[in-house]
Structure 1
């Protein structure tokens, strides 16, 4: 009798294990599908895409974000975006992770000494512009990426379009329409 009970429990455990595995597979497929569609839309719409080269593994260990950093699929997204842009003859520029994109004023170029992670807005002491941390970083990443390509702001973009893409897009609850 006890032996039968253990066998039934084991069978139920195996069935539940298969159910959970299917759910995990479904979530992974949904994420992959979303990332393919988003990267395809970006690759179709823009000639140059500038992103920050982030080390998500280190961010997950250092910051208090935990598993949410790993759940966004940033590495998978950048690889999808890279190969889709290359197929279309377009460019993906990765700005170094040590570039001070959040701490640099996008208006005058002043670099703030210290900027903690909980400061979402800051005022430039030089030009008194109030910056949203993420938008300011995105503008600076775009500017630095175009500079890395040899783009001169004074001469114009030569017909190329570009995109400000920040990690905020992938970390937000509801993805914005691009």
Structure 2
């Protein structure tokens, strides 16, 4: 077998699936996952959650001193908390494709998928919705006929390969 090397072996490029890439690039999520994924988080009042976030940021060595950084980190944490809440309420916090990726084991990998994108002029993404209140997110997500897919399953829905699977695997004329 001949391998084509595109760059020197020192490049240290590690191929990752979409789900692994999502969690790898979600720095704020990883640093504050304990808060975002806290099982009892939604039993707290909004004020208690706010204080919980503020305390965690103040205690974090990377964010405790820079005011502008703190504000941005707080916004990002709240977006993840909002995403978790919405995905748990609407989709049981689970990818409907594989069922393996959940709001608890890889929240950053969960994405919205429009079942009927061809009838929509404008399709909302999570980044479009993440600053809205939860009621508005629920309304838009349901109106746009969205479901929850992990990054890998979402990629498969957009892939042309699945339309050729039967032909590829049923091919009896192999050499």
TM-score interval (norm. to shorter):
under 0.3
Query: Rg: which structure is higher?
Result: 1
The structure whose residues are more often strand, as a share, is 1
TM-score (norm 2): 0.25
